[in-house]
Copies of this chain bind each other. A is one copy, B any other.
Amino acid sequence: MGELLLRIGELASRAGVTTRTVDFYTGIGLLQPAGRTDAGYRLYPSSAVDLIATIRHLETHGVCLDDIAHALHGKPVDVARLLARLEADLTALRLAAESAGPDAQTILAILGARAHALITTAIEIAAASPLT
């Protein structure tokens, strides 16, 4: 159980960001040090490297840091139920699209493309961290 702990400089360098960014993320509660040294240096679990990668990934998809922080500290979610809901959504969307005019279809295209991008990202993240 000897978990590897990293100081801010090491974490930042492994994650490819600046210490300032790690500091900022820590300040807003996105990252939490596992502890402190006697001198007050923050010590992060090595899993924080992946977490930062995930955060950056989510950011590029327009998820605000606040939402990420909430989800990270919230209770776990029933993914099966989430998937079932999305399936039902799609069926309803198909119905709605059939009776929609050209302008509405353009809007559907924006939202649909976004949903596609989100799900693709979700798949990437899920595939990349099978045991995290």
Q: How far is the CA of A79 from the CA of B93 in the complex (A)?
A: 10
Interface residues of A, count at CB 8 A = 59
Looking at chain A's contact residues, the main secondary structure is helix
Which 5 A-B pairs rank lowest in CB-CB distance, beginning with the nearest? A77-B109, A96-B126, A100-B126, A111-B122, A89-B119
Q: What are 26 contact pairs spanning A and B, CB under 8 A?
A: A54-B107, A63-B114, A71-B106, A71-B107, A71-B110, A77-B112, A82-B109, A89-B115, A89-B123, A90-B90, A92-B123, A93-B123, A93-B126, A96-B122, A96-B126, A97-B126, A100-B126, A101-B130, A101-B131, A104-B130, A108-B125, A108-B126, A111-B122, A112-B119, A112-B122, A118-B118
